Structure 1
């Protein structure tokens, strides 16, 4: 597993058919929507009619998300996921057949009916699109799987817009027939791909569906707010859609008005943003070391703001040239700066959204995930509509330029990020710990898959440095409650990180018996709640690199609650940053090795009922070997 990368998923049946299916769906949706616009130009519809349909189409497509997302979440919870995907792709064939008839008849009202039906089909597919991933992927594959899905969606949307916009230009008089045949063919391909998806059972087959959308929408929105981190991850994803909508609505005018380009240049700048998002999504697995690393979220948020600010200053006025193609634009002064800004915004948007999806999937109970995704889709649609209306109001009534809108978006994005990270300091805490660990060490992980996906377990590990807890938290995909010596817990700056991570301070019986008893009670309560708890049974940092005898505290924990025990070992930490390299000093010194290669090794769970301090010490010693 240590050599695994996300691209290996594309060779596995548990992921590839679903990935291909969702790519065909996103591609076909955008081919269809752009082909409607192409038909209007092909028919030489007057500008007023084109404006009317251009305004109606997005509203008609998104309306089903408001109306039916809660119902879709329930259906995705109740039905087998592979079956539901096949049902939705079969629906798509019939809907696209209706759309093809409308293209051939040049019946614009019928096209809008088909567009509404497409929105209904997309609404049904939405919850299962993300709830299927934790059902078929290991938790350590969630970030990579979501990265692939986001990359595939971004590329499919871009290619779909290009293909749909070119149908009538390339096909000439046969445009309506070609458009109809194309959307049907793509729907059939998506359905064929869906039939290769292996069986994925229902999360809650006994669920009784409430068909009344209004009370159920309120229920699923409340469900998404149960956990603070999940609630704000949902808010973060919706904000991502807000930012994306601002770009999608402004780039068509930004290219000619501010960049001096033609319609081809609009496609180019849209491609830059989409490619940046795809690349950022793909990089998340590498940067997170295959954990659900929400520390990337602040990095993504503030990176987006930085490039948005620079995009405003790079071109705050109107263009001095007009009708430029891509080569002509690239020859203009300052064009490369704009290119970097657009790619950078997309890149950090990928860093922002992929860990949020992975967090929602990993922290939400599997029997609630589809309904939480339904709530997410309701909120997303609200943010999309809000973004469209705000941009329309700012440009039409307030007279703002597009660069001014981008500047306002940069300011708003910064404020929203600060607000979210203030409410849920875990995001910022994980960012600081991620930055520290990735700056100071190079990690190699082995056997981490032995950590259970859910349920209580006790982790025991050797104790080498003041950074051990941060290194382990960066290596284990689930949140961990660390039991640590209270003097380490109270280290300035680090103390805020430990408190935010809900670490449990402990003292010796002679130092503070009340604090020690409180620590044992907190450990037992955490294990009773199904959480992971990590203890360092040596009781103190090693003074010479060897593992000290394990103390009996671990046995007291297991006597009260005999949960499975995961032996883990830190290797090559001795002599690295923050370790006690010299027992004569009894304190930290300047490290001998910066960016040390550190290995984290885990073994199979041990039955807590029969585990002793001595047997666990032996297991950890064997894992560590001679690499202190």
Structure 2
């Protein structure tokens, strides 16, 4: 992916945009942290966060229109130029000690980001294509969080070193840290320069026109929300992201006051540093999800992430140590990445190109409506003196609802994600010939059988679920039956042979993938046993193709019948290779098929 033209340049632009936006926010937040206490601190922190969210709500329709109407790299270039002007005004306000003006300029800087955002995220799909869409989103999330992490540490460190203890007013603090404003300006200038060098990836010109009267009347809002809700899976993904970010916003808004009042921590750098570890966790989580989404968007991690963040939120109020809180925020970030990377990739993948900008703007709109509402509620609770600890528990219960929401749709994928993760701890699988498996056609997978985990090895790189045929005696184990039934396994035995063949044939006629093992049992000597001809009875229709495969490297492993007296090193992963041969017609005889797979085996030997 990084070899594609413009990718590295784009990621640097993304980094600088986040680094600059965050810099001003950190300066204002740290000023509030130094001057105010208790509920007043929570309220002002919530207001500053709300000012960042509000523009995404107000410019939902215009930002979506711009991202669909014009080339996305052009929107990014002009937005960066606008940021240069804004940061110059912000820097001037620092030198004058105008806290209220600097406070309000946060809104204008966020407005620039709101216009910029749909184009920035829509550009991912155009730049890297569907093949690298998950890796592209993972890279953007990782780079953004590195920018946030770096910005928090950079601006907080300079802030603490420049502000002496005898400064007690907003105006004095801003005048003291005023030189920091030039970092914001220089970052915006470099971002504008690099954005102007991004390649144009707009394949088809759009001739949409924007009617300001319809915007004021709310006609665009209703129309664009209908577009956003058109595909239930897209809307549910947006809803899940909205709940996640709402929880995150509240946690970040209240943790500073919680650390100060409950843990006695008054150093802004320490507090910001602990929260910044959530960003580092997002980087780690993004890398993990990208690795395990090498072949398709792995949606199973969404459920794992929802469980993880909910548990963390419930634990934080019981923790009196900043060191343990730091670890919890790190985990919170990892689990957050498990949700945001696959869901953002899924939204971009499912959204039609003609409405991509509108849907991404709708994503921003709904997310920010949620976050704004949650922050407003937080402000009200703080105003009436509610303890920050109680807010943690409330967010924990919101997390439980998030679990329910994602579990309904992605529970099946979560099981596969767990299996895949556990398997890859001990084994590294290399695939060859995956392009030989048609995506929208009936496929019969036939190959060797060397271990109890061959089914998992075959399924891992294939997004479409495989219908495995399994011995009925194993299928009927009480513990396994519910799981195997949910996994679309087809039981087979000598008595039910005909019915099993009919069921498998029907699934093939529905363009599904069916897999069985012609040897009929797991190999005990790593040689191919005589292939049985049962599969020849399958009738998958004229379009059905057979894809032969060979698995190498599992013989002698822990999950093989014959362990071959080998003991795998706990520190070294066993390398497995799987090769898929080119598709052949489904009328091939068993002995001919065995010769093809024997050739694949001989190549490995």
TM range (shorter): 0.7 to 0.9
Choose the corresponding residue for 1:426, options 412, 436, 440: 412
Q: What SS class does the counterpart of residue 460 from structure 2 fall into?
A: helix
Following superposition, the deviation at residue 62 of structure 1 comes to: 1.7
Q: Aligned pair count?
A: 582
Residue 427 of structure 2: aligned partner: 442
Structure 1 CA distance, aligned partners of 2:222 and 2:416?
31
Following superposition, the deviation at residue 29 of structure 1 comes to: 0.8
> 1:277 touches 1:347 (CA, 8 Å); kept in 2?
yes
Following superposition, the deviation at residue 603 of structure 1 comes to: 4.5
Residue 391 of structure 2: aligned partner: 405
Structure 1 CA distance, aligned partners of 2:105 and 2:237?
33
Choose the corresponding residue for 2:11, options 8, 15, 19: 19
Choose the corresponding residue for 1:561, options 543, 553, 556: 543
Structure 2 unpaired stretches of 5+? 164-172
Residue 195 of structure 1: aligned partner: 196
Residue 246 of structure 2: aligned partner: 242
Structure 2 CA distance, aligned partners of 1:124 and 1:617?
60
Residue 282 of structure 2: aligned partner: 277
Choose the corresponding residue for 2:373, options 368, 378, 386: 386
The 1:232–1:173 alpha-carbon spacing in structure 2 relative to 1, beyond 3 Å, is closer
Structure 1 CA distance, aligned partners of 2:530 and 2:228?
46
Following superposition, the deviation at residue 182 of structure 1 comes to: 3.3
Structure 2 CA distance, aligned partners of 1:85 and 1:437?
42
Note the alpha carbon deviations across 1:186-217, whole angstroms, 9 max, x for none.
Answer: 11111222234334234x64474665454554
The 1:570–1:198 alpha-carbon spacing in structure 2 relative to 1, beyond 3 Å, is farther
Note the alpha carbon deviations across 1:168-192, whole angstroms, 9 max, x for none.
Answer: 9749896686455433321111122
Residue 355 of structure 1: aligned partner: 342
Q: What SS class does the counterpart of residue 475 from structure 1 fall into?
A: coil
Residue 168 of structure 2: aligned partner: none
Superposed CA RMSD = 4.5
Residue 167 of structure 2: aligned partner: none
The 1:599–1:38 alpha-carbon spacing in structure 2 relative to 1, beyond 3 Å, is closer
> 1:75 touches 1:209 (CA, 8 Å); kept in 2?
no
Q: What SS class does the counterpart of residue 510 from structure 2 fall into?
A: helix
Choose the corresponding residue for 1:261, options 265, 290, 293: 265
Following superposition, the deviation at residue 450 of structure 1 comes to: 2.7
Question: Within 5 Å, which residues of 2 pair with 1:145-544?
Answer: 145-164=136-155, 166=158, 170=162, 178=179, 181-202=182-203, 205-206=205-206, 208=208, 212=214, 214-225=218-229, 229-262=233-266, 263-286=268-291, 292-315=297-320, 334-366=321-353, 368-397=355-384, 399-434=385-420, 437-438=423-424, 442-447=427-432, 450=435, 455-456=440-441, 458=443, 460-464=445-449, 465-476=451-462, 478-485=463-470, 487=472, 492=478, 494-500=480-486, 503=488, 505=490, 511=496, 513=498, 516-526=501-511, 533-536=513-516, 538=518, 540-542=520-522
Out of 192-201 and 106-115, give the one that drifted further: 106-115
Residue 571 of structure 1: aligned partner: 552
> 1:552 touches 1:613 (CA, 8 Å); kept in 2?
no
Note the alpha carbon deviations across 1:120-151, whole angstroms, 9 max, x for none.
Answer: 33223322333333444476744444333222
The 1:474–1:45 alpha-carbon spacing in structure 2 relative to 1, beyond 3 Å, is closer
The 1:85–1:555 alpha-carbon spacing in structure 2 relative to 1, beyond 3 Å, is farther
Structure 1 CA distance, aligned partners of 2:89 and 2:395?
39
> 2:80 touches 2:188 (CA, 8 Å); kept in 1?
yes
The 1:457–1:108 alpha-carbon spacing in structure 2 relative to 1, beyond 3 Å, is farther
Structure 2 CA distance, aligned partners of 1:223 and 1:548?
56
Residue 599 of structure 1: aligned partner: 576
Following superposition, the deviation at residue 283 of structure 1 comes to: 3.3
Structure 2 CA distance, aligned partners of 1:48 and 1:496?
52
Q: What SS class does the counterpart of residue 155 from structure 1 fall into?
A: helix
Q: What SS class does the counterpart of residue 298 from structure 2 fall into?
A: coil
TM-score computed with the length of structure 2 as normaliser: 0.78
TM-score computed with the length of structure 1 as normaliser: 0.76
Residue 169 of structure 2: aligned partner: none
Q: What SS class does the counterpart of residue 560 from structure 1 fall into?
A: coil
Structure 2 CA distance, aligned partners of 1:51 and 1:345?
21
Following superposition, the deviation at residue 384 of structure 1 comes to: 1.3
Q: What SS class does the counterpart of residue 59 from structure 2 fall into?
A: helix
> 2:46 touches 2:253 (CA, 8 Å); kept in 1?
no
> 1:295 touches 1:434 (CA, 8 Å); kept in 2?
no
Q: What SS class does the counterpart of residue 601 from structure 1 fall into?
A: strand
Note the alpha carbon deviations across 1:24-54, whole angstroms, 9 max, x for none.
Answer: 1111112233445678999x99999999976
The 1:402–1:173 alpha-carbon spacing in structure 2 relative to 1, beyond 3 Å, is closer
Structure 1 unpaired stretches of 5+? 1-8, 316-333, 528-532, 583-589
> 1:133 touches 1:142 (CA, 8 Å); kept in 2?
yes
Q: What SS class does the counterpart of residue 484 from structure 1 fall into?
A: strand
The 1:505–1:217 alpha-carbon spacing in structure 2 relative to 1, beyond 3 Å, is farther
Q: What SS class does the counterpart of residue 561 from structure 1 fall into?
A: coil
Following superposition, the deviation at residue 304 of structure 1 comes to: 2.6
> 1:291 touches 1:474 (CA, 8 Å); kept in 2?
no
